[in-house]
Structure 1
């Protein structure tokens, strides 16, 4: 046999693909999309509505006026508050600004006063009831800010009402 009759065969190389880098990149992509998905969810405040979705407002005759605290939101970030019913207010209406030295301080003070009063009349579990009334001239940010103040002060019972009595309309009209 001579060498020319033999075919020269190339040696087969064992081709092996290392997938370690691909697995690492896959895990990084999964983590990236999980984080992006979590961060892209809209953030908002919880709004509790009745189970059937209907909001029914009825007479408040069974609620002591001493528990009521009304916050009127008006244009130019103006806030007017009063305690009780405006026809027979417990104290005269006051004007406030947003911030920790403004409405926040007043809400904390009112909460404390009403809680002390309810303890003195033998109903320690009853607390303040805040009625928030944004006017048509107030902006949405004012409503969000006052809801933040309710959360900061841990006010559990509050309501947003868009109807004004004639006395409240006169009060807002007076600058």
Structure 2
């Protein structure tokens, strides 16, 4: 009986698959001293996602040069839903970039979490990049201008009042 038990244990140990590690490969760019040497992003190929507090998420198309002109209309809220929320936004932008630019790898997503955003929400967005096969994405510190845009959007102020406040 011991021989049969030993053979069964050995058989099951050798035929079972071990759990694979759940990690994501990240490729980090080199640090450069000169800002002109950094990679530039085309406005038409970029999607910027702002991760706010209390599971709030905002996005705008481009790198943000035109958003400060009309933040109430250009900065759009979303949800973390894959079918109707940020997943649909990523999918639509990806299709648009493929049609206009002709390349599958030319889209870049810029993720900017705030100091009060949750770690879980950032990991969810990184998972979405993997789900939608986005090859180029960057996790960037949020700028003061983006924080102001979120405040303006949450307050719903018209742009004239926002400019007067500055």
TM range (shorter): 0.7 to 0.9
Q: Give 1:113's aligned residue.
A: 96
CA 1:45/1:173 → structure 2, altered by over 3 Å: closer, same or farther? farther
Which segments of 5 or more consecutive residues in structure 1 lack a partner in the other structure? 1-20
How big is the alpha-carbon RMSD for the aligned residues of Structure 1 and Structure 2?
2.8
Q: Give 1:165's aligned residue.
A: 143
Range with greater deviation from structure 2 (22-31 or 144-153) = 22-31
- The structure with the largest helix share of the pair is 2
CA contact (8 A) 1:67 1:114 kept: yes
CA contact (8 A) 1:87 1:167 kept: no
Alignment partners' CA distance in 2, 1:164 and 1:105 = 23
Once the two structures are superposed, the pairs formed by residues 96-111 of structure 1 within 5 Å of their partners are: 96-99=78-81, 100-111=83-94
Runs of 4 or more, structure 1, over 6 Å off, are: none
Give the count of matched residue pairs.
145
More contact order relative to length (CA 8 Å, sep ≥ 6) = 2
Alignment partners' CA distance in 1, 2:117 and 2:3 = 55
Structure 1 residue corresponding to 2:109, chosen from 118, 121, 130: 130
Deviation at 1:113, TM superposition (A): 0.9
Once the two structures are superposed, the pairs formed by residues 143-154 of structure 1 within 5 Å of their partners are: 143-154=122-133
Q: TM-score, normalised by structure 2?
A: 0.73
Structure with bigger gyration radius: 1
* 1:36-69 deviations in Å (ceiling 9; x for gaps): 8824x6x42312234xxx7537555633111111
Once the two structures are superposed, the pairs formed by residues 81-100 of structure 1 within 5 Å of their partners are: 81-89=59-67, 92-99=74-81, 100=83
Q: Give 1:63's aligned residue.
A: 41
